[in-house]
């Protein structure tokens, strides 16, 4: 599920790329401080976007500096941390923990089981502090498992479920901005699930695994349908984003929404053009 909400580095000056990396490293430092090295190992670009978004919206005060860390012990690097990152770090751990459980449930992956066991104590702390958020994650996974278990045709049900989940996690406070943040998360959640299914389809077909897009492959307009559907999902997120009074890091956040999220799609298209092979 992770890894699609990224910057388009080619469209950002080096200075602004360093700013994004500073927030990324700040979230890593927060994960390490709250949940140890095991927590920092769960760091994701998707949640870095959320950290930057909430930081820009609420402007809670930021502390910046340079440090060496276990991941980069030889050279000091910039970091930026703020209070909102405590929440984002907790959500990062909760999602990573359940991703491990999901991988164990689906594939009986011993690696995933081991990683989940290492994160269990950290997750229980998050669950005590954010019970409603953790309950939403668990309910989402139960719904996804039910959909996959029944091998339902069509992609609307899992897309909608993932949108609802990410919408809930994007809401930091139940305040004036909650509805807009929920809409940003909802659009991105829908896009992430759809893009993940689109990305995985060739391997899922090869390994005879369930994928909700399989039943749509016979459509003559399959590629156009997928591109159009994902465009609408991202458009919902960007429309909500533009309604927020974002000034700080607006250029980076808009780079992600208007360009970065399409990086994997562009890569897949270029790969297929080079090989002459489509989704099938």
**227-265: pLDDT as tens digits:** 999 999 999 999 999 999 999 999 999 999 999 999 999
Confidence of residue 74 (pLDDT cuts 50, 70, 90): confident
Long-range Cβ pairs for the range 158-162 (8 Å, 24+): 158/193, 158/197, 158/212, 159/190, 159/193, 159/194, 159/233, 160/190, 161/193, 162/1, 162/189, 162/190, 162/192, 162/193
Does the structure show a pLDDT above 60 at 1? no
Q: Which helix (H) or strand (E) holds 254?
A: helix 250-258
CA gap 84, 193 in Å, rounded: 26
Domain membership flag for residue 100: yes
Q: Are 89 and 39 in contact (CB under 8 A)?
A: yes
Q: 18 Cβ partners below 8 Å, 6+ apart?
A: 78
Identify any residues that bridge with 142 across adjacent strands, giving them in sequence order: none
Q: How far is CA 146 from the centre of its chain?
A: 22
Q: CA triplet 114, 97, 4: central angle to 5 degrees?
A: 115
187, two tokens: 């659009």
Structural domain that includes position 254: 9-275
Domain membership flag for residue 59: yes
Confidence of residue 3 (pLDDT cuts 50, 70, 90): confident
| The pLDDT value given to residue 278 | 57
Domain membership flag for residue 280: no
Q: Are 252 and 52 in contact (CB under 8 A)?
A: yes
Q: Give the chain's domain count.
A: 1
Identify any residues that bridge with 64 across adjacent strands, giving them in sequence order: 80
Domain membership flag for residue 2: no
**116-175: pLDDT as tens digits:** 888 999 999 999 999 999 999 999 999 999 998 888 888 999 999 999 999 999 999 999
Domain membership flag for residue 246: yes
Which CATH number goes with the domain that contains 24?
1.10.600.10
CA gap 134, 115 in Å, rounded: 18
Q: CA triplet 154, 157, 163: central angle to 5 degrees?
A: 130
Domain membership flag for residue 1: no
User: Looking at residue 10, what DSSP letter applies?
Assistant: G
| C-alpha distance across the termini of the chain, in Å | 22
């Amino acid at each position: 599920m992770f890894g699609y909400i990224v910057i388009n580095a080619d469209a950002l000056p080096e200075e602004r790329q360093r700013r994004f990396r500073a927030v990324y490293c700040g979230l890593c430092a927060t994960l390490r401080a709250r949940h140890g090295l095991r927590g920092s190992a769960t760091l994701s670009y998707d949640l870095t976007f959320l950290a930057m978004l909430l930081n820009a919206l609420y402007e809670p005060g930021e502390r910046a500096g340079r440090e060496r860390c276990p991941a980069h012990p030889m050279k000091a690097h910039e970091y930026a941390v703020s209070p909102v990152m405590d929440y984002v770090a907790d959500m990062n751990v909760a999602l990573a923990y359940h991703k491990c459980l999901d991988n164990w449930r689906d594939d009986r992956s011993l690696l995933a089981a081991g990683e989940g066991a290492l994160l269990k104590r950290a997750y229980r702390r998050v669950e005590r502090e954010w019970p409603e958020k953790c309950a939403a994650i668990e309910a989402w996974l139960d719904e996804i498992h039910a959909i996959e278990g029944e091998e339902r045709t069509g992609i609307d049900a899992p897309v909608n479920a993932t949108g609802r989940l990410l919408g809930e996690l994007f809401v930091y406070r139940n305040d004036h901005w909650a509805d807009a943040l929920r809409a940003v998360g909802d659009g991105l959640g829908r896009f992430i699930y759809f893009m993940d299914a689109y990305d995985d389809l060739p391997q899922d077909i090869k390994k005879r695994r369930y994928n909700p897009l399989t039943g749509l492959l016979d459509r003559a307009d399959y590629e156009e349908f997928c591109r159009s559907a994902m465009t609408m999902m991202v458009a919902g997120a960007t429309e909500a984003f533009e309604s927020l009074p974002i000034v700080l890091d607006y250029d980076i956040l808009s780079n992600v929404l208007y360009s970065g999220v399409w990086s994997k799609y562009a890569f897949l298209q270029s790969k297929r053009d080079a090989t002459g092979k489509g989704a099938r």
